[in-house]
Amino acid sequence: MSLTRLSVGEASAHMLADVPALGEETVELRDSLGRVLARDVASPVSLPLWDNASMDGFAVRATDVRGASTDAPVSLRVVETIAAGRRSTRAVGPGEAARIMTGAPLPPGADSVVRVEDTTVTEDVVRIRDDRDAGTNVRAVGEDVRTGTVVVRAGTTLRAAHIGVLSSIGCARPAVHRRPRVAILATGDELVPLEGFDEVLAGRRIVSSNSYSLEAAVRAAGGEPVVVGIAPDDPAALAARLRAADGCDLIVTSGGVSVGDFDYTRTVIAALGGSLSLWRVRMRPGAPLGFGRLFGVPWIGLPGNPVSALVTFELFGRPLLRTLGGAAQPHRRTVPVVLEEDVVLRAPLTHFLRCLLVDGDDGSLRARLTGGQSSGMLTSMSSADALLVVPPEPATVRAGSTLRAIPLDGDLGGSALFPA
Ligand code: AMP
Ligand code: MG
């Protein structure tokens, strides 16, 4: 028996239960952008390694410069110049200063750096006209990172700043999770690949746009797409195609999972020894959705309609992929949005409406629907930059109300929470 007609949240929880993260490999740091860290990384060093100047100026003793002003400047003897990458050769004593550049180690005895702008130099004497920098402009040893502390946690998707931090602590080859290999199979007698576009021009076939959009979505989510092609609506041919998915970490099919006369995906999954553990979700678009296991890995059967396929991939396929890939926060973040128009639901299902996020005059984000919401209209998806999440109740949500939306570009760091 499979679970049927679950809510979106229940369906997501079911699919993500017991999904193990894939094994790890090491990669060159410069190739690690977007990869998911497999182990906590602790620093073998403190950063900064030494007390250093955070400004170009003069390293001094705070007690020497307190009280300095335009009317009563303080004069100190300049004993040396310390460039970044050099060390001081002597301490700064009372009445002394060292010219110092940003990042250079502070000489012993000094505890402040007076900015250049507050000084005048003649020969080897510096006149200080302001005491606002007394006790400041020094970056203390270890203030950024202390030896032994974890600087990036396992499960983090590496961004530019993480790569910078990892480089600064000497991590040349981080351990990351393997990228999930995701098999993508389209089903339907009516489908051709781009190479068959003559058939489209002749009015006999349609392009299997899901093959292309899902391949791109898998890649964008950090997976490695394995396109196993298009299967006709024929159980034997479908089974033969599905066998090509053996060895992948996740199997994504589209189409043939509803209640039509030629919807064979579910029976073929069973015939191949797979299982269907969930079918149909209380959502629109995307209700006829299947989930189970095949060849020992998760299988998700997306509906064929191009919008339904992408929306259900976003909500369920992408988090599955991200979880397999070790991401600690596999879901997209949501943001509050103010509706620009009334939304009327024709069924008590969670709706995911294609919308544009526009800036409101009051600083709020406003949601503007991208026209026709039919699940066959792929342009309503391509002209959207977010999915508006509309709960099943109430049936009418008035303009001006606040709902949440899932921005589709960039995951803002991701979230551990399912968005609906
Ligand atoms: P199905 O889920 O197989 O009943 O298909 C529902 C609708 O989606 C039908 O209009 C199909 O022609 C269309 N469709 C199914 N698969 C694809 C695909 N790979 N690319 C584009 N449209 C598709
Ligand atoms: Mg079909």
User: What are the pLDDT digits (tens) for 399-411?
Assistant: 999 999 999 976 6
Range of the domain at 335: 331-414
Is 135 in a helix, a strand, or coil? Answer: coil
Do 305 and 337 lie in a common domain? no
Ligand 1 atom, smallest distance to 230 CA: 19
Query: If you take atom 12 of ligand 1, which residue's CA is the nearest one?
Result: 190
Cα Rg of the chain, angstroms: 30
Is 99 in a helix, a strand, or coil? Answer: strand
Read off the tokens for 69: 């002003």
Ligand 1 atom, smallest distance to 209 CA: 20
In this structure, what are the phi and psi dihedrals at residue 109, rounded to the nearest 5 degrees?
95, -35
| Residues within a 6 A CB radius of ligand 1 | 186, 188, 190-191, 206, 208-211, 254-256, 258, 260, 303-306
pLDDT for 2 beyond 90? no
pLDDT for 89 beyond 90? yes
| 8 Å CB contact between 158 and 325 | no
pLDDT at 413: 61
Mutate which of 199, 267, 305 to test ligand 1's pocket (most atoms within 8 Å of Cβ)?
305
pLDDT category, 261, cuts 50, 70, 90? Answer: confident
User: What are the pLDDT digits (tens) for 10-45?
Assistant: 999 999 998 999 999 999 999 999 999 999 999 999
Ligand 1 atom, smallest distance to 305 CA: 8
- CATH number for the domain spanning 148: value is 3.90.105.10
Do 182 and 223 lie in a common domain? yes
On whether residue 1 sits in a domain, the answer given is: no
On whether residue 310 sits in a domain, the answer given is: yes
Do 17 and 85 lie in a common domain? no
User: How far, in Å, from the CA of 281 to the mean position of ligand 1?
Assistant: 18
| Structural domains of the chain, count | 4
User: How far, in Å, from the CA of 262 to the mean position of ligand 2?
Assistant: 7
Do 224 and 256 lie in a common domain? yes
| 8 Å CB contact between 302 and 26 | no
| CA of 255, nearest ligand number | 1
CA–CA dist 145, 141 (Å, integer)? 9
* Mean pLDDT in residue range 37-60: 97
pLDDT category, 1, cuts 50, 70, 90? Answer: low
Burial of 396 (0-12, 13-18, 19+ CB in 10 A): exposed
Do 160 and 276 lie in a common domain? no
Which pTM value belongs to this model?
Answer: 0.91
User: What are the pLDDT digits (tens) for 178-187?
Assistant: 999 999 999 9
pLDDT at 166: 98
